[in-house]
Amino acid sequence: MLKFEHITGLNVEGVAPAEDLIDSIREALAEGGDPAPGLALALVKAIAELETAKKSIADLEERMESTQLYVIGLETRLVESGLRFGDPAASINPSATPDGESLNPGGDLSK
């Protein structure tokens, strides 16, 4: 049979909800009281934190998906515009031909 004393010996360092749970059991046992009410409250708190974390993860995944769609849209528009990735002439000189030749060979940009 599992007793509260067995639970208080568990090593849950770094897991805040479990630490709170075990601390409430230890405090109740030290005072000679029944740890069940404290255990129930800690359990409800842990479940609420878990549900909040699940919602946060779902929201983050939704934002990531939205960002991915936005980036894909940007890439599509870039490709459709005729610009090529890794083409320094096209990215630096928008008046260059597709093969990188300047449309203004004299270098005078005022024309």
Residue 43 lies in a domain: yes
Nearest in space to 51 (alpha carbons), one of 21, 25, 17:
17
pLDDT tens for the chain, residues 1 to 111: 667 766 777 777 777 777 777 888 888 888 888 888 877 887 888 888 889 999 999 999 999 999 999 999 988 888 888 876 665 555 555 555 555 555 555 555 554
| pTM listed for this prediction | 0.48
Residue 105 lies in a domain: no
75 Rama class: left (phi>0) / alpha (psi -120 to 50) / beta: alpha
Could you tell me the residue range of the domain that residue 32 belongs to?
A: 4-80
Counted domains in the chain: 1
Residue 52 lies in a domain: yes
Residue 87 lies in a domain: no
Residue 59 lies in a domain: yes
Rounded to whole angstroms, how far apart are CA atoms 53 and 30? 32
In this structure, are residues 99 and 88 in contact, taking their beta carbons and an 8 Å threshold? Answer: no
Residue 33 lies in a domain: yes
